[in-house]
């Protein structure tokens, strides 16, 4: 479904899209954190961390450039091979493959995302206040 006025970007729609892009990013990092320490029998089955790729979209008419999430990429980092013969998921040689999640990097990703979300909300509040002031002034 397309809305009639979707191609003209306003400050509000731009901020809204940027906020949802930040949420997608935060979800990806949370999913990585949740899968930290998960193991698999084969290398191919092991969880790979995901990252959201951002791209900016410029609206020529207004000069506003918004942001959108341009798809999700899977990390190329190889899973860690560990020798654990007693693990129920161990393969014939007694190895398990652990998801290569860097927990502190994911925490930083979440904090940065939250910080940027806050910034957007603040900018939106200020812009809204100024618009209301302008409307009330007459």
Options 13-21, 31-39, 40-48, 73-81: segment touching another protein (CB under 8 A): 13-21
Does 62 interact with another protein (rule: CB under 8 A)? Answer: yes
DSSP string, 39-66: EESSTTTS---EEEEEEEEEETTTTEEE
126 binds another protein (CB under 8 A): yes
Contacts of 3 (CB under 8 A, 6+ apart): none
Binding site for another protein (CB under 8 A): 11, 14-15, 17-18, 22, 25, 53-56, 61-67, 112-113, 115-116, 119-120, 122-124, 126-127, 130, 133-134, 137-138
């Amino acid at each position: 479904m397309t809305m009639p006025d979707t191609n003209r970007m306003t400050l509000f729609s731009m901020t809204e899209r940027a906020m949802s892009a930040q949420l997608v990013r935060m979800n990806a990092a949370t999913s990585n954190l949740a899968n930290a320490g998960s193991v698999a029998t084969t290398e191919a089955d092991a969880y790979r961390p995901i990252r959201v790729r951002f791209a900016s979209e410029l609206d020529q008419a207004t000069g506003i450039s918004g942001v959108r999430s341009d798809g999700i990429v899977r990390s190329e980092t190889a899973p860690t091979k560990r020798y654990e013969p007693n693990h129920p998921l161990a393969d014939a040689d007694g190895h398990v493959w652990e998801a290569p999640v860097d927990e502190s990097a994911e925490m930083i990703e979440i904090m940065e995302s939250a910080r940027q979300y806050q910034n957007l909300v603040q900018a939106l509040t200020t812009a809204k206040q100024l618009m209301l002031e302008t409307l009330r002034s007459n």
